[in-house]
Chain A
């Protein structure tokens, strides 16, 4: 058994897990670890704010499927990371966050830069640890990675007291991890699979309702196979976009508050709803008793707590989505039914859905030279062939990106769904670009959100990590303004951005390129120019859009999803 300094043991554990890049910000409590990182071949990215470190690690995790790692110092370093951790928690993103802590003898004494970060993050991590003994260091790191990436993934925090990191520890041999009460169920119960399949075969108006679980478990192919074999229309949550090809004729796009008319109508009229890796979030269901009122509900999820939490489920399948869908596809193949006939029997249903789409397609009104944000996204889609990695901020910009970019592949839309964290998009874009330097990465931003982590422009420059920031500038906190317009008599309390920086000059100040488009006729040229420039440097585009444009369809909060406000 090797003896190693704690900090070196941590680095060895990171290498063991295949970690190549970590994001962090130093301080007294982690200075030992930083000292040894300098000589290691792990690539450390110095961010400009700890929230940025966690979001960047999260962005990397979402595009690759690997565990993202962030390293923060004690006290304010750790608390600055909390929003990032909660963001990852709500979207089930695997992260390991290492935080420095004051030396063990000082814990509990209100020492300089001491906070109880384990206590603070208990409700927003999948699990967390304070390593209080040197001998626990290596096993804890290994367990943390295991917990983060298996089952329903999530962020795991390890608090590392300075004396533990500086001590000499045993670097034991790595063994398979077995935990007494943590054995996620990957394989579905075959009886349930059979029940679900029989129900699906009987259905006249089936709908697949797909969430982020399909992407997390890499089940997109199995899902696509099921949908195409039986001709089942597919709707996706924000987190599920890309889990099924957006350009496929069976795709109805997103559902819920800003979902498509066809999606919400189809769910309301469905007789069998197959929820795969989705969690019946209130933004999806609207008024809960009016959600899929006629449907038998089949729900596949690896997390038993997701099942029957908000909506009573008829056929639960606790399993990894990929495993469950594989089992269902296999069962269907050998069940003896004529699947082509079943598929053909859904043609009428698909026709009904097509009529809904034709009646109310995703659209917007043309206002000549006034730039419509939806048009910008359509152009982005066209000029990147729907193949860029799109991160988003939060608000209208996020919804337009979700509605108008066609996500044909998984892990291409990187967005804060559950927590809705403004300031997520830029650091996440940097994380994504770090993972895939050859891909085009675009942060679709709002003028408000982008200012929340704008400092990361420096990180993007320092690490030669160029991305495009496409600001849909309405000079408003637009999404909140939209609610005020519709439900608060247009009383725009605190949503008018009276002072906004000149984003072109701001880009230049950070060594990035700044472009501006104020007319519809300039949009295409500007995007083309940005796609050229981004080969060398980060580009901000300041699109001056129709200021009071709204996101539609919209289901007002608490209403049934069929009660949509339309364009």
Chain B
């Protein structure tokens, strides 16, 4: 099962390597990871996507908690949540395909962020599945370069 975990930690040198070292040392998997400062500059928020059954996930959460620089660990995929990824894709756009590429970008609500005679650079955001979908469609046209962020996620506010 896929889980998206949000970790609040001290914004100090070496803290990220404590987290990644824990995952590699204990053989837990990391599918994606993204980290940045929070409103409080002393704290960072790290979002990571991992896979495992319940007992593995229990260990992951407990082991993260055990790290002294970690303040809070939440498995946000346990409840309703939103997640986003972003990708920058440079796709071949020559005479015959220029219009088609624009149509695809439009369908996915992407944005062209750089234009050259032979290519467009496109920015798309969305869930990992959405990003994968546009990649699959653009691939036959010719992707020259792609850069993706890790997932970031946030729990939805209660509806009442």
> Which residues of A are interface residues toward B (Cβ below 8 A)?
118-119, 122-123, 126-127, 130, 147, 179-182, 303-305, 308-309, 312
Question: B14 an interface residue at 8 Å Cβ cutoff?
Answer: yes
Please determine whether B62 and A119 come into contact, CB atoms closer than 8 angstroms: no
A residues less than 8 Å from B71 (CB atoms): 180-181
Measured between beta carbons, the chain A residues less than 8 angstroms from B68 are 126-127, 147, 179, 181-182
Task: Verify A308–B65 contact, CB threshold 8 A.
Answer: no
Distance of B59 from chain A, by nearest CB (Å): 6
Q: Does B58 contact A122, Cβ atoms closer than 8 Å?
A: no
B87 within 8 A of A: no
B55 touches A312 (CB 8 A): yes
Taken residue by residue from 44 to 75, chain B's Cβ proximity to chain A (1 for < 8 Å, 0 otherwise) reads as 00000000000100110011011011111000
Rounded to whole Å, the gap between the CB of B71 and the closest CB of chain A is: 5
Known: A304-B62, A309-B59. Is A119-B70 also a contact (CB below 8 A)?
A: no
Bound complex: CA A118 to CA B62 (Å):
23
Q: A117 vs B25: C-alpha distance in the bound complex, in angstroms?
A: 17
Tell me whether B59 and A305 are in contact (CB under 8 A): yes
5 interchain pairs, CB-CB under 8 A = A123-B21, A147-B68, A181-B65, A308-B58, A309-B59
Contact A305 B66 (CB under 8 A): yes
Query: Does B95 reach chain A (CB closer than 8 Å)?
Result: no
What distance in Å separates the Cβ of B56 from its nearest Cβ neighbour in chain A? Answer: 10
- Which residues on the A side are within 8 Å of B69 (C-beta)? 181
Select from chain A the residue with minimum beta-carbon distance to B66: A305
Tell me if B18 and A122 are in contact (CB < 8 A): yes
Q: How many A-B residue pairs have CB under 8 A?
A: 35
CA distance A303 to B17 in the complex (A): 22
- Smallest Cβ distance from B65 to chain A, in angstroms? 7
B interface secondary structure, majority: helix
Instruction: Tell me the complex Cα distance, A544–B30, Å.
Output: 54
Neighbouring A residues of B14 by C-beta, 8 Å? 118-119, 122, 130
Whether A122 pairs with B17 at a CB distance below 8 angstroms is yes
- Could you say which residues of chain B place their CB within 8 Å of the CB of A179? 68
Not counting A180-B71, A181-B69, a sample of 9 additional A-B residue pairs whose C-beta atoms are within 8 angstroms of each other reads A119-B17, A122-B21, A123-B25, A126-B68, A130-B13, A181-B70, A304-B62, A305-B66, A312-B55
Known contacts: A122-B17, A122-B21, A123-B25. The answer to whether A308 contacts B55 by CB under 8 A is yes
Q: How far is the CA of A303 from the CA of B59 in the complex (A)?
A: 12
Chain B hits for A180, CB < 8 A: 71
Q: How far is the CA of A304 from the CA of B63 in the complex (A)?
A: 9
Q: How far is the CB of B104 from chain A (nearest CB, A)?
A: 45
Query: In the complex, which residue of chain A has the Cβ closest to the Cβ of B73?
Result: A181
Q: How far does the Cβ of A541 sit from chain B's closest Cβ, in whole Å? A: 41
- Name the distance in Å between A178's Cβ and chain B's nearest Cβ: 13
Name the interface residues of B1-34: CB closer than 8 Å to any CB of A. Answer: 13-14, 17-18, 21, 25
Inter-chain CA distance A147–B65, complex, in Å, is 15
Q: Which residues of A sit under 8 angstroms from B62, Cβ to Cβ?
A: 304-305
Q: How far is the CA of A490 from the CA of B66 in the complex (A)?
A: 45
A130 to B14, CA, bound (A): 10
Q: Which residues of B contact A182 (CB under 8 A)?
A: 68
For the complex, give the distance between the alpha carbons of A303 and B63 in Å.
10
User: Please, how many angstroms separate the alpha-carbon atoms of A147 and B25 in the complex?
Assistant: 22
Q: Across the interface, which residues of B come within 8 angstroms of A303, CB to CB?
A: 66
When C-beta atoms are compared, the residue in chain A nearest to B8 turns out to be: A181
* CB pair A305 B25 closer than 8 Å: no
Rounded to whole Å, the gap between the CB of A152 and the closest CB of chain B is 9
Q: Which 6 A-B pairs have the closest CB atoms?
A: A305-B62, A181-B71, A127-B68, A304-B62, A123-B25, A182-B68
B134 → A minimal CB distance (Å): 39
Of chain A, the residue at the smallest CB distance from B68 is A127
Most buried by B among A180, A181, A308: A181
A118 vs B12: C-alpha distance when bound (angstroms)? 13
Contacts of A118 in B (CB 8 A): 14
Q: In the assembled complex, which residues on chain A have CB atoms less than 8 Å from the CB atom of B58?
A: 308
A residues in contact with B18, CB < 8 Å: 122
Q: Are B63's CB and A305's CB within 8 A? A: yes
Distance (whole angstroms) from the CB of A532 to the closest CB of chain B: 49
Inter-chain contacts of A308 with B (CB < 8 A): 55, 58
Chain B positions within 8 Å of A181 at CB level: 65, 68-72
- Shortest C-beta distance, A460 to chain B (Å), equals 36
Residue in chain A with minimal CB distance to B43: A180
C-alpha spacing A182/B9, complex, angstroms: 12
Q: Closest CB of chain B to A43's CB: distance in Å? A: 30
State A312–B59 Cα separation when bound (angstroms).
12
Most buried by B among A126, A147, A305: A305
Q: How far is the CB of A142 from chain B (nearest CB, A)?
A: 14
The residues of B that contact A130 with a CB separation of less than 8 Å are 13-14
Q: List the A side residues contacting B72 at CB < 8 Å.
A: 181
Residue of A nearest to B70 (CB): A181
Chain B residues with Cβ below 8 Å from A305 are 59, 62-63, 66
A312 to B58, CA, bound (A): 12
CB distance from B57 to the nearest CB of A (A): 12
Complex: A147 Cα to B67 Cα, angstroms: 11
A118 to B21, CA, bound (A): 13
B55 to chain A minimum Cβ distance, whole angstroms, is 7
Please give, as numbers and ranges, the residues of chain B lying within 8 Å of A312 by CB-CB distance: 55
Closest chain B CB from A126 CB (angstroms): 8
> CA of A217 to CA of B13 in the docked complex: distance in angstroms?
33
Bound CA span A185–B103, Å: 58
For the complex, what is the distance from the CA of A304 to the CA of B66, rounded to whole Å?
Answer: 8
A305 to B56, CA, bound (A): 11
State in angstroms the CA–CA spacing of A435 and B58 once bound together. Answer: 41
Q: How far is the CA of A312 from the CA of B25 in the complex (A)?
A: 22
Give every chain B residue within 8 A of A147 (Cβ-Cβ).
68
- Chain A residues within an 8 Å CB radius of B17: 119, 122
Which B-chain residue is minimally distant from A180 (CB atoms)? B71
Chain B: minimal CB distance from A419 (Å): 15
Complex Cα–Cα for A295 and B4 (A): 35
The distance from the CB of A312 to the nearest CB of chain B, in whole angstroms, is 7
Q: How far is the CB of A186 from chain B (nearest CB, A)?
A: 16
What residues of B have a CB within 8 angstroms of the CB of A127 in the complex? 68
CA distance A179 to B72 in the complex (A): 13
